Amino acid sequence: MFSSPDRATVRALLEGYLRAKDLNRPELIAACFAADAELSFSLASNDIDFPARVDGAPAIAKTLVGDFGARFERCRTYYVCVEPHVNGDGACEMPWLVVMRQKDSGALRIGNGTYRWQFAREHDGAERIARLHIHIVRMDTIDDPRADRLDALHGALGYPWLPPHALARGLGEVAAAHLGWTFVQPFLQPAMHAGA
């Protein structure tokens, strides 16, 4: 049954998801996703690939943590909002930004998109994520052999909650301090889903 958990519960679930994904801890997925949770993707970019749909917490852990962690490291995913807002149907939408390193090439990967979460109360009374849709608007690959750009971006952005004004300020300041950092321009504003 879909539910509208309180703000503290939602924050804990969303932060648990980031701990699992960004720290490559697949065992943490079961604490925030329902056993029969659904994950879906839509991509406006061909620069990264994911399956269209994944069912069940174990498969979600494999896709979002195991498989993802095999390809990327030093990942930080930022929620580009002040706090989550859940509607009466237990749904929550928010933009995201990701900054990470591709293992095989050492390249910086910077991308953005939107999350659409659906929360539900489990049989045991616990609130968990029942559905997650990830829309990827953009995913760029930037040469960064010594991870200097990655380090600068991580240092400029508050993690994991990043209000839109702080996103624009952080990326704008780091770009102004480094000649030729025009690659951050497409990410100065939060991503919007095409259907929004």
Q: How confident is the model at residue 194 (pLDDT cuts 50, 70, 90)?
A: low
Q: Which one-letter amino acid corresponds to residue 145?
A: P
| Count of residues in the chain | 196
Contact 117, 132 (CB under 8 A): yes
Which class is 7-184 in CATH? alpha beta
The domain segmentation of the chain, as residue ranges, is 7-184
Cα-Cα end-to-end distance for the chain: 25
Please tell me whether residue 51 adopts helix, strand or coil conformation.
coil
If 0-12 CB within 10 Å is exposed, 13-18 middle and 19+ buried, where does residue 169 land?
A: middle
At residue 186, φ and ψ (nearest 5 deg) are: -65, -10
Position 4 pLDDT exceeds 70: yes
pLDDT of residue 196: 43
Q: Region 133-158: what's the mean pLDDT?
A: 96
Tell the residue number behind the tokens 């321009």, with chain if given. 185
CA atoms of 138 and 104, how far apart (whole Å): 20
Predicted TM-score of the model (pTM): 0.93
